[in-house]
Structure 1
C-alpha cells in the first residue's frame, strides 16, 4: 500500500465486463489497480468489446493482452507499469469456462486448449506474489472429465506456499436469484488464515422469497421486443421475426415450454423442425428450456453467454412476449441496477452479462478477503452489494 492510498490493490485477469472487479471496486478498502482481457469472441465474430463495459463501471482501461501467449514475467511487468504497484494484495482470475461446460457435448471427450489457462494462473501468481488468489469457473472445473487442470492449479499454488480451498456452490445459497453453480478456489499466502464463503455465511441464510424472478424484475417497465426503455438503454431486448414472435405467444406464460406447442393443432404449427424431431423420437426433455419462459416464483435458470436469443435457452419473459432484456438478465445475474453495458452491440451486452462473475457474489468475496487480511468478520449488512436484488431484510438467521 502506498502512502497516498492505503487501500489494498487488486489485479483482475480475464476481467470481462467487470463482474469480479466490481465487487472489490465497491468495497472502500480495495483499489482495482489493473485488469487484463483479450476480448476474444468466436473466430468468426468481432471483438467482444467487454473492456468498454469494464471501463464504464470500474474507471480504468483493461490491458488488451492474450493471457495464453504472454510470458508471466512480461505480464507482471506490464501490470506493474499499468497499475503503479509492486505487489498486489489480491489476484483474481476467471479463465474461460466454455471448455469445461457440460452443456457442450464435445467437452466430455476433448480437452479444449483454453482449459490450460487455469494452470497458468499459478504462473502469474508466482510472478506477482499476491497475498490472496481467487479463481472462479464452471462446476466442471472440479467435477468434470478435465478436472486435472484444477488439480494442477491447486498443486502449483500449494508448492508456492499457499493454503488452498476449492469448492463448488449453488449461488442462490448466497442470494443470487438464479440456479447458478460455480467453482471458487481460494488461496492465501503464509501468515493469513484461510476462510471460505461457508465461513462468511455461517449462521445466516437467504429467505427463499428473495430468490425469485418476480422479486428481481417484476417492477421494471413493460417493453416490446426490440424497443428501448427511454429511461434505461439496457432495458431492451433483441428484435425477433414475426414467426418467432408467434411461437413465443403460443408458449404458456409463467414457466411454459415449447413442448406445449404440441397440445393443439393451432399451436403445433409453430414448432421448429428440431422440436418435431425430438417429439418423434420421444425425447421431449431434449433442450426443453429452448424458447421456454421463466417462471415468476422460482430462481431463474442459468444465464449463459449466448442468452441473446429465445432459441438458446429459457430466456423468454414470464408474461411479456419477448426475450428478457439485458437489464433483466443483469439483475438476475447480480449486477447493480445502474450498471452500464456497451451500447455498440446489444448481442455483446448480453454476452457480457452471461460471461460475468455476479457482482453480488464478488462483493462477498471482497469482504471475505478483507476479513482474511485482518479485518473483523463482516455481517450480512456489510457484504450485501447496494442496488442489487438482495436486501438486508432478505437475510435470516440459520
Structure 2
C-alpha cells in the first residue's frame, strides 16, 4: 500500500513538473535581448492562485529595462522575466482561497509587500522596502503563460470589463494615486505636463475625480491630439528648452483663465518640474509623477518659486489600494482606457521583439499590448 501511495505521489509530481515545463516567459537576458524560455513557477501556497495571463501591457519602466538593463537604482543583474501590467484567468486556487474561483477573469496588482513593517501596517505598503514587484529586479515579472500570485492582490473583473482593460488598471492606478495624493476635486483646475501613457491616465483620473478644467502640455502634436480626443479641455505644445518656461507659463495661465491649482509633472526633468512650479498658483500643489531624471535642479527658494508662495511639492511612488476603484471607474464607464491601446502583439519570439521595439520608438505608440 505504501509503495502504491508513493508511486501516486511521484506521478502527481511528475505531472506537475511536466505541466510547469510548458510554461514560457519572456526573459530579459541582456540589453535589447529578450528570449522566450521556460519559466518554472513556485509551488501554489494555500492563499495563492495560478493565473493564465491573457493580456499584458508594456510600461515605460519595462522599456527602460529593455534598453538599459536598469531603471534608476533598480539594476537587472541576472536574467529576469519582464512585465507587470497584466490580467488573466484563474486556472488553479490554493486550499484556503475563498474570494476567487477557477475560471474567474482577474486583474493583478503586481507588488507584494512584506505586510509586517511599519509602512505596511500604516497602510503605505507601496513604500515597503521589502516589496517584491513583478518585473522589477530581482523579482521576475508576468509576461508569461502562467504566474502564481497571492489571492489578496488578484481582483475579479465585472463582465463588461475586458481583460485588456483589466491590464490597464496598473497604469491607471498611477493616475488615480496621483489624484488622491494631490486631492483633485470639483474645485481644482489641473495642468498635466506630459501626454505619454501616464500623463493621459492622470488626465482621465482627474476628470473622473471631478476636476472642472484639465489642460495638458507636451512636445508632440500627435499625443496632444490624442489628449484632446480623450477629453482634455485644452492642449499646449511646449519645447524642451528651459529658456521657454516664462513664455509657456503665460500660455498656461491664458488657457486656464483663473489659474492652475494643481500641476502634475508626468515627465520628470528639470525643465518640466520648473515649469510646473512656476505655473501653479500660490498655495497650490505640484505632484511629481514622472522620473525622467535621477537628480534635479529646480527653483524651490527663488522669490517667485515654491517656498515663497507656499506651493506644496509632493511625490508618488506607484500606488496603493487602487484596483477596486479603477475597476469601478471602468465598469461604470467614467473612464475609458480602450483608446490608449494602439498596438497589439502575440506572445511569440518575433512579436515580443517587435512589441518592445515599437514601444521604445514611441511615435504613435501609446500603449502596446500583448494578447497571450
TM-score range, shorter chain: under 0.3
Which protein has greater RCO, CA pairs closer than 8 Å, 6+ apart?
Answer: 1
Query: Normalising by the residue count of structure 1, what TM-score does the alignment of the two structures yield?
Result: 0.25
Greater percentage in strand: 2
